[in-house]
């Protein structure tokens, strides 16, 4: 189990915040502007994303409270205490399966994007298998290497996103995001379901919480992580709509990549920004994927008691099978959507229920809550 050496296997609040943020910024950001624009149909998509960010903050706050209530123990360990062993086991299975699907979906999107923008003729299976192998190497290392790598990559990823946003402002036209609220608030609310979906991922704190050195910092960490993601998401959607127009965003497959392809510094000094972006984006996907795989392994280890490292190898073929399951790009997007709905159901409702039950049954650290 993961908590064999509690003294060594701890993470700081900073690391937790970065991991929360990193688990969210995986694939969503590549298609978010499109799905939101489709739902909103006016240039106000970025407002939906911003509002959804607040909803996510609320959900994250609840997850944070739950973590604080059970210091030093992971979600998988205490869920059984709260709602009883059999039910708890069901929840652990559900969450683990969800992480398997998330990892599979992410793997496939990584493969698709790489095939489209970088390696046209390389079979997609090969990129996927290689990616998995390298990711597995990190996963078996346990929480500390994962946390450190994310701590190292996170600034790079934020940087590359900021570069994307700043360079895109050359092409940004204010009129493209106007009129603001031209059709009232209704479209903004219509866009919220699809934008809330892109915020799934913060729930990694559920199992990260057990590793936190100071679990009272769980709430600030999750709020910081979600806050950072909200800002980045909002800016990306704003910039995408501002430089491509809503109508165009609705028609492109990977809107954020299209924005990256739009970028051109004067005199051809720097063309092909999207190559750099894709390469660095694989890093970003890598860190998110590792978190998902790790989450699935921890859950399985909790249920069956073996070392999570063994499970890391066991889940690889399952994840791969899920990744190759959709037979075309539309099926991939559909899988992503089901995934997000599942996450919304599980991590929107579950922590609330758990927290309520724990409070009623007086389980956990009462003072902390």
Partner 1 sequence: MSKPLKYGTVWLLLAAWLTMNAVLLSGCWDRNEIEETGIVLGIGLDMPSDGGDDEQRRPKISMTHQIALPTGFSEQGGGKTQKKYMNITSEGPIIFDNIRQLATRIDRPPSYEHVRVIVIGEQVARQMDLRNVINFFMRNTETRRSIRVVVAKGRSEPIFSQHKSGQTPAIELREMTENYHKTLRTPVQMTLGNLSEHLTGQHSFVLQRVMALREESQLSGAAVVKGATARMVGWLGELETAGLNCLLGIRRFNGVIEGVELESGAMLGYEVRRMKRHIVPIIEGDRISFEVRIKSEGKLREDWANPGDSFDQAFVERAEQATAARIRQLAERALEKTQKQYKVDVVGFGKRLSIDHPAVWRRVKDDWEDRFSRMPVKVKVEVRIQEFGTRGSKRR
- The contact set with partner 1 (CB under 8 A) reads 116-123, 126, 129-130, 133, 171, 175, 178-179, 182-183, 244-248, 250-251, 258, 261-262, 264, 271-272, 310, 313
203 or 274: whose CB is closer to partner 1? 274
Cβ at position 128, least distance to partner 1 in Å = 12
DSSP for 105-173 reads HHHHHHHHHHHHHT-SSS-HHHHHHHHHHHHHHHHTT-HHHHHHHHHHHHHHHHHHHHHHHHHHTTS--
187 or 336: whose CB is closer to partner 1? 187
Cβ at position 353, least distance to partner 1 in Å = 38
Cα(286)–Cα(150) distance, integer angstroms: 10
Cβ at position 121, least distance to partner 1 in Å = 4
Cα(208)–Cα(299) distance, integer angstroms: 12
- As given in the structure block, the two tokens for residue 192 are 């919220």
Closest CA to 140 of 312, 7, 295: 312
187 or 326: whose CB is closer to partner 1? 187
367 φ/ψ angles, rounded to the nearest 5 degrees: -60, -35
72 or 141: whose CB is closer to partner 1? 141
Read off the DSSP letter of residue 212.
B
Cβ at position 264, least distance to partner 1 in Å = 4
53 or 242: whose CB is closer to partner 1? 242
Cβ at position 86, least distance to partner 1 in Å = 30
Q: Are 257 and 274 in contact (CB under 8 A)?
A: yes
40 or 226: whose CB is closer to partner 1? 40
190 or 262: whose CB is closer to partner 1? 262
Cβ at position 130, least distance to partner 1 in Å = 7
Phi-psi category of residue 89: left, alpha or beta, with phi > 0 → left and psi -120 to 50 → alpha: alpha
Q: Are 172 and 242 in contact (CB under 8 A)?
A: yes
Angle 320-321-323 (CA atoms, 0-180°, nearest 5)?
A: 60
Closest CA to 33 of 280, 337, 245: 245
Cβ at position 247, least distance to partner 1 in Å = 4
């Amino acid at each position: 189990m993961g908590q064999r050496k509690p003294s060594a296997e701890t993470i700081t609040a900073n690391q937790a915040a970065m991991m929360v943020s990193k688990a969210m910024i995986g694939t969503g950001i590549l298609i978010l502007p499109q799905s939101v624009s489709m739902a909103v149909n006016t240039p106000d998509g970025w407002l939906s994303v911003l509002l959804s960010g607040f909803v996510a903050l609320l959900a994250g706050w609840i997850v944070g409270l739950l973590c604080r209530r059970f210091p030093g123990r992971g979600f998988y360990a205490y869920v059984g205490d709260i709602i009883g062993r059999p039910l708890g086991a069901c929840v652990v299975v559900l969450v683990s399966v969800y992480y398997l699907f998330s990892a599979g979906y992410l793997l496939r999107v990584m493969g698709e994007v790489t095939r489209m923008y970088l390696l046209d003729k390389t079979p997609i299976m090969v990129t996927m298998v290689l990616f998995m192998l390298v990711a597995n190497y990190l996963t078996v290392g346990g929480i500390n290497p994962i946390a450190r790598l994310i701590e190292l990559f996170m600034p790079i990823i934020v940087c590359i996103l900021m570069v994307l946003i700043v360079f895109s402002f050359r092409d940004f036209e204010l009129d493209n995001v106007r009129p603001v609220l031209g059709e009232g608030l209704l479209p903004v609310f219509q866009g919220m379901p699809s934008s809330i979906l892109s915020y799934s991922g913060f729930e990694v704190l559920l199992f990260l919480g057990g590793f936190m050195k100071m679990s009272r910092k769980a709430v600030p960490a999750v709020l910081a992580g979600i806050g950072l993601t909200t800002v980045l998401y909002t800016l990306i959607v704003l910039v995408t709509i501002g430089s491509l127009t809503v109508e165009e965003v609705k028609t492109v497959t990977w809107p954020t990549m299209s924005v990256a392809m739009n970028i051109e510094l004067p005199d051809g000094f720097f063309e092909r920004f999207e190559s750099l972006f894709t390469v660095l984006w694989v890093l970003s996907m890598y860190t998110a994927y590792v978190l998902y795989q790790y989450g699935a392994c921890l859950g399985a280890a909790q249920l069956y008691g073996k070392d999570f490292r063994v499970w890391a190898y066991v889940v690889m073929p399952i994840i791969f099978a899920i990744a190759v399951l959709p037979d075309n790009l539309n099926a991939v997007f559909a899988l992503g959507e089901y995934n997000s709905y599942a996450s919304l159901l599980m991590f929107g409702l579950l922590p609330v229920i758990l927290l309520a039950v724990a409070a009623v049954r007086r389980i956990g650290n009462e003072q902390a809550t």
